[in-house]
Structure 1
Amino acid sequence: MSWQIRGEYMETCNCAYLCPCIFTNLTARPTEGECKAAVAMRIDAGEKDGTDLSGTAFMMMIMSPGPMADGDMTVGLIIDDAASAAQVQAVTEIASGQAGGPMAALAPLVGTFAGIERRPVRLEGEGMSRRATAGELVEQSCTGVAGGARPEEPLHIGNTAHFANDRLALARNGQSRFDAFGIRWDDASGDRNGHFAPFAWAG
């Protein structure tokens, strides 16, 4: 059966701003040798197989030992602990690429699926700021990089191969603290990479 979801996305990663994955279509080596990222997704509306997914949030924890295009990535999934069993199943199928859609293209690059954790997952913000948490496992925030013509709006990069949206706001991290599935990072320098955007997926 077909499915569709839409909502808001944000992430930070340990690459120095601007992450080279974005402008090399995943072929560049991360600036720190390996990439660690927390990708937060909040579904504002949508359903799969008759299961309403509105209000469900989740995070994908990603670790790549080198260029993402080379594969062997580790991915773990954190799903909001308020989600029902049917919602957990639907989100897992979507996020893993089993249900098709944008994540299906990334699935062949995943070497290890690290499992699923349940925590309160939140994604909030407006304007230039975004913040996402997953219980004690993840706390991250970012601020958009001001544009020149309209400094109240972030710079954007378009026509990307990113799975969330092909047009992303450019941002720098505020707090980035990860400790999930063996993926650990803690940085508040403001020099690391971030993005945010609306998303609309279907399969």
Structure 2
Amino acid sequence: MAWQIRGEYMETCNCAFLCPCIVTNLQGQPTEGDCKAALAMHIDEGSMDGVSLDGVDFIAILQSKGPMGAGDMTVGLVVDAAASDAQVQAITAIASGAAGGPLAMMAPLVGRFAGVERASVSIRGEGGKWSARAGELIDQACEGVLNMEGRPLVLDNASHPVSSRIALARAARSMFKVFGIEWKDETGTRNAHYAPFSWAG
């Protein structure tokens, strides 16, 4: 199953900024005891076995009961309702790690795949401000943390499945209610990231 995709991603999670997961290689205890995160992906260009994935939006949502590195995570996908069945099958194979690629490194940590939901998914970004929504299931937004020159602070060489270089951000709002994973926060104190990505398998 030859495939490649590239695009833009943003996420928010329930940990207080800065999330301990990323700076401890997934071994840190989440600040709220468990970890809830939604990773929103917009594919600018891509394909899998002749199926075009250009323009497809999807969100991977996860929950771990403790440190992510301990495994037993619940993971589900929300794919844009406008995607075809063939596109949904391709996205599911890629996002679950079944088709190899970067997300395959996370597959051994997943205890339960909760399935796939369809909803109207939209992901928008301008500068360091990003937002993603999936119907009534997910609504999140973040704003990048800037240095004194107005440039985004980034983590480089990060052990992150999306990209090894991710921008630091704070979640402006973060709401999940899908697959039994629920969270709501608008304090501006929670963790977020964004980055371009390029995957292949």
State the TM bucket, normalised to the shorter chain.
over 0.9
Cα distance in 1 between the residues matched to 2:173 and 2:70 = 29
Which residue does 1:39 correspond to in 2? 39
Deviations 1:122-158 (A, max 9, x none): 110111100000011000000001113x21x211011
Cα distance in 1 between the residues matched to 2:142 and 2:7 = 18
Cα distance in 2 between the residues matched to 1:105 and 1:96 = 10
Which residue does 2:125 correspond to in 1? 125
Structure 1 portions without partners, runs of 5+: none
Secondary structure at the counterpart of residue 54 of structure 1: coil
Which residue does 1:13 correspond to in 2? 13
Cα distance in 1 between the residues matched to 2:22 and 2:147 = 18
Cα distance in 1 between the residues matched to 2:112 and 2:82 = 26
Residue type of the alignment partner of 1:44: D
How far does residue 2 in structure 1 lie from its aligned partner after superposition? Answer: 1.6
Counting only pairs closer than 5 Å after superposition, residues 1-203 of structure 1 correspond to structure 2 as: 1-148=1-148, 150-151=149-150, 153-203=151-201
Cα distance in 1 between the residues matched to 2:44 and 2:146 = 26
Residue type of the alignment partner of 1:122: S
Structure 2 portions without partners, runs of 5+: none
Residue type of the alignment partner of 1:42: H
How far does residue 179 in structure 1 lie from its aligned partner after superposition? Answer: 0.3
Aligned pairs, how many? 201
Report % sequence identity.
Answer: 60
How far does residue 37 in structure 1 lie from its aligned partner after superposition? Answer: 0.5
Cα distance in 2 between the residues matched to 1:125 and 1:95 = 21
Cα distance in 2 between the residues matched to 1:107 and 1:147 = 35
Normalised to the residue count of structure 2, the TM-score between the two structures is: 0.99
Secondary structure at the counterpart of residue 76 of structure 1: strand
Cα distance in 2 between the residues matched to 1:62 and 1:32 = 15
Normalised to the residue count of structure 1, the TM-score between the two structures is: 0.98
Deviations 1:37-59 (A, max 9, x none): 01100101010000000000100
TM superposition outliers: structure 1 runs of 4+ over 4 Å? none
Cα distance in 1 between the residues matched to 2:173 and 2:71 = 27
What is the alpha-carbon root mean square deviation over aligned residues? Answer: 0.6
Secondary structure at the counterpart of residue 106 of structure 2: helix
